[in-house]
A and B are shown apart, each in its own frame.
Chain A
């Protein structure tokens, strides 16, 4: 186990060197969150009325943290597909390391970039006038960010599976973007679910992404109109978000390890 953790640390450092060498890789967790935060609060902020009251900015930041952290999982899919296509994977195959260490190194790297991404959304929010509500204070903001980062960690295992299932990095990007954008947009991230058509509302209310966004809102002390909805996830967002996180990891981590074994054994 200690050896495994050591391997994960070494492989994580390798991924961080990659980022340092090609910083544009990070644009989806640095530039994109700033743009989306400015774009969405300005575009929708003028027209949106939040059920239960509150400003759109207050409503949107929790959703933006969640949405940016979810979609940044595309990076995992691309990175896994790209590692598979490179010679260094052959080196890893002849070294006394387990394949799960390669995957864990990747997802740990993604947690670090998720923390960066979430913080950038919050700082952008602060710059345009968003404030955490009274209630949990700074600890609440940290807790909300924690729930979102944990969920993005689970998403990175899911997208690792995607990256390992497709044949090249380009396909990983295409498939990853479709899956994640549908998942992130059909949720309570940007609009209260109350106004959605019935079938879409059912989907959005039970979408774990909504639970994560609602958790952020609750913990940030911001408006959370989903609290008016009587579904289980809407009433217990943190519980449902963490349970979904655990379930995704429980399914996708062994699956990703298995896929990597299949892809690197012939």
Chain B
């Protein structure tokens, strides 16, 4: 078995009465990418903050590179790179100055830090802006510089907290390419995301968290297999009390509802005339159907099946994401 580079065992964190992380267990083998998937407020960032020594856990233990995150915090900081949701850069320093500063504080010799800074700025397409103060950078540029800052000291373990949230599609693709290259070079990566396609595209395995607890673990295909085959999704004009009962004979598992009962999702074996039968059954109890769909399961369905909530859509603005929590 390969060595575990990131381990969490029952990590728990509360702020006052508010429980941010109820219980998180993780195990990330060296050289792999773990995607931590969950809606806003699920406890993803708090988990990263604990594992990166920024926040002290109230319970449980964590190890990075085999080092305890509390007792050996300083040693942990030597082997990690962290990119948070808000760029942790010095706005008044130039791109180069930021990277050289981080390099020197990571105990690289000045020359080495300068060479590494130039290399990374080039690598991230920031060479032209290298001499400008960071406050003049666009959002996408800041994200890339922030990731570059995490890579200056070539840390073997990387924590990326929602690395593409708020990025335009092009910047997002660039960020994906960068992360793929990192893992190809052997880095161990823990990345959080609200985007199922992102987890599917980048992660070797996925944990789904909700309300501060891990609710599912596996590869993308394992998670899909867990909820079975095809799904039936029906959208009603208005919630109807008898809709679930009407569907029962036609489906192959429990019904999940959303949108206050307007949307119903359930596993269903595809067969000729299924859609017609569904519409007839719902019409018979007086429920008006706006939309009906039978589809192969996506991670969205997994998430929906596990949490009873839809995952944030890719194009969701932060405000829309917050509604998911509420």
- Complex Cα spacing A107 to B105, Å: 18
- Residues of chain B within 8 A (CB-CB) of A97 are 105
Indicate if the CB atoms of A96 and B93 lie closer than 8 Å: no
Structural contact, B53 and A94, CB atoms closer than 8 A: yes
Does B97 sit at the interface, judged by CB under 8 A? Answer: yes
Give the residue name and chain of the B residue nearest to A20 (CB).
B92
Chain B residues with CB under 8 Å of A17's CB are 92-93, 97
B residues within 8 A CB of A21?
A: 92, 133
A84-95 CB contact bits vs B (8 Å, 1 = yes)?
001111111111
The residue that B104 contacts in the complex, of A6, A18, A91, A94, with Cβ under 8 A, is A6
Cβ-defined contact, B102 with A95, below 8 A: yes
Q: How far is the CA of A86 from the CA of B106 in the complex (A)?
A: 20
Give the contacting residue for A266; candidates B55, B84, B90; CB below 8 A: B55
- Residues in A whose Cβ lies below 8 Å from that of B15: 266
Assembly CA distance A266 to B13 (angstroms) = 10
Q: How far is the CB of B262 from chain A (nearest CB, A)?
A: 40
Of B73-81, B165-173, B221-229, B241-249, the one contacting chain A is B73-81
Residues of A within 8 A of B92 (CB): 17-18, 21-22
Report Cα–Cα, A18/B101, bound state, in Å. 13
- Select which of B49, B56, B133, B149 is within 8 A of A91 by beta carbon: B149
A-contacting residues, B63-106, CB 8 Å: 74-75, 77-78, 80, 82, 84, 86-93, 97, 101-102, 104-106
A-contact 0/1 string along B26-70, CB 8 Å cutoff: 000000000000000000000001001111100000000000000
| Chain B residue at minimal CB-CB distance from A10 | B104
Q: Which residues of B contact A46 (CB under 8 A)?
A: none
Q: How many A-B residue pairs have CB under 8 A?
A: 74
B111 at the interface (CB under 8 A from A): no
Establish whether residues A14 and B80, one from each chain, have CB atoms under 8 Å apart when the complex forms: no
Instruction: Let me know if A87 and B87 touch, CB within 8 A.
Output: yes
Contact of B107 with A by CB under 8 A: yes
A14-B90 in contact given A90-B54, A92-B105, A265-B55 (Cβ < 8 Å): yes
Q: Within the assembled complex, what's the spacing in Å between the Cα atoms of A92 and B102?
A: 8
A-B contact pairs, 16 of them (CB 8 A): A18-B93, A21-B133, A87-B87, A87-B88, A88-B89, A88-B91, A89-B88, A91-B89, A91-B149, A94-B54, A94-B88, A95-B102, A96-B77, A265-B55, A265-B56, A266-B54
Residues of A within 8 A of B74 (CB): 96
- A10 with B101: CB separation less than 8 A: yes
Instruction: For chain A, residues 1 to 43, give those with C-beta under 8 angstroms from any C-beta of chain B.
Output: 3, 6-7, 10-11, 13-14, 17-18, 21-22
